[in-house]
Amino acid sequence: MMKSRWLSAVLLTGMATGMLFGGSTLIAQTADPSSPALVIDSNEDVYFRNVPGARKVAVIITGAAASDEIKTRFRQWSMALHDLLSRDYGYSEETITLLVDDGEAFTAEGAEPNFRVDGSSRREDIEAALTDLSEQVRPGDQVTVILIGHGARSDTGIEEDAKFNIVGPDLTGREFARLLEPFNEQDLVVINTTSASYEFSAALSAPGRVILSATRSAAERYDPMFTAYLIDALDQRQGDRDKNGRVSVLEAYTYASQSVIGWYRDQGRLPTERAVLDDNGDAVFSLEPASGAGDGGLAEIAYLDVASTGQQKASAEAQQLFAEMQDLERSVFLLRGQKANYLEAEYWDRLETLLVELARKTGRYNELP
């Protein structure tokens, strides 16, 4: 037992610091289902597998702003997220849809063209963009939706009627949930960074989805700082806590939410926003999601990056090993989050089996030209 624990600890430490992968960007793939080491007893195992050939797409929707100053800030955040995803995370113009307020500054006759903007955030443009996307994506693809702007609590007393402020009639959480219904065969991440975002976000909760809200109640109605720190988490992968060269949704959330708390503390002010996350489909959000907690298991294996082909080796054997390495790492995360479900000896035996296999495949991968 002591030998098993020692070996697991050594290997896990190596993986967490990027030693096993040399800091390379990884791509999630499907594991060999015949391998007993990869069988994880959890419903989480059917989500965020990123099957071979799966794509990742992002939709950034920037709503209406209360002033020109705020509009400028919202646009800057939107462009920064677009540029980070395309520059550092493997997305392209074809896999990012950016809808910005009234769109006129970018689409009106005589306006300076902006190749990043695909349209406005009017209701009809949002509906059209999501409908078009639902017809393009395939089962197993990952769709990430990021909302930037103002939100508002429900004026009907029904939480699902909370609003995302857009140009023209606002969208309610109930209406946006309907727009997301066609994506039931895709892995879905929604990052709602608006003020008073909680009730709207709760309406989107469902099994297999990772939902992040910048606020934890309708009373938190001041514009959040969360978006700025979300960008920081992605920039230069500052949010990568386990140093595996990637940023998961859980890591981005943790970095941004802790940075917001730190900002208010440094300002000597009481926080007017606290981010929360739900990924088990119960619409009960957690302030501190984590592996093994009620929320956090899916967010830990939901990565925002796409594989970087420049960092992979070209041979068929290398590609296969690369896929198997990533799936083994994913299985380690899932098992770690379910530790309480196993007898201690069984847990360490399973973990050792996974880590030894991971080290073996990584060694072989590094040997290939």
Looking at the structure, tell me whether residues 360 and 246 fall in a common domain. no
Q: Give pLDDT, residue 363.
A: 87
Looking at the structure, tell me whether residues 293 and 192 fall in a common domain. yes
Range of 9's domain? 2-47+313-367
Give pLDDT < 50 ranges for the chain.
1-13, 15-41, 308-310
Looking at the structure, tell me whether residues 130 and 177 fall in a common domain. yes
Q: Give pLDDT, residue 113.
A: 62
Question: Model confidence over 103-121: pLDDT tens digits?
Answer: 766 655 655 667 889 999 9
Residue 60 domain-assigned (yes or no): yes
Looking at the structure, tell me whether residues 99 and 35 fall in a common domain. no
Q: Give pLDDT, residue 234.
A: 97
Looking at the structure, tell me whether residues 212 and 317 fall in a common domain. no
Q: Give pLDDT, residue 45.
A: 65
Question: Model confidence over 120-150: pLDDT tens digits?
Answer: 999 999 999 999 999 999 999 999 999 999 9
**For the chain, what is the HEC assignment?**
CHHHHHHHHHHHHHHHCCCCCCCCCCCCCCCCCCCHHHCCCCHHHHCCCCCCCCCEEEEEEECCCCCHHHHHHHHHHHHHHHHHHHHHCCCCCCCEEEEECCCHHHHCCCCCCCCCCCECCCHHHHHHHHHHHHHHCCCCCEEEEEEECCEECCCCCCHHHCEECCCCCCEEHHHHHHHHHHHCCCEEEEEECCCCCHHHHHCCCCCCEEEEECCCCCCCCCCCCHHHHHHHHHHHHCCCCCCCCCCEHHHHHHHHHHHHHHHHHHHCCCCCCCCEEECCCCCCCECCCCCCCCCCHHHHHCECCCCCHHHCCCCHHHHHHHHHHHHHHHHHHHHHHCHHHCCHHHHHHHHHHHHHHHHHHHHHHHHCC
Q: Do 123 and 171 meet the contact criterion of CB atoms below 8 Å apart? A: yes
Looking at the structure, tell me whether residues 160 and 245 fall in a common domain. yes
Looking at the structure, tell me whether residues 185 and 248 fall in a common domain. yes
Q: Total structural domains in the chain?
A: 2
Q: Give pLDDT, residue 331.
A: 82
Q: Give pLDDT, residue 110.
A: 55
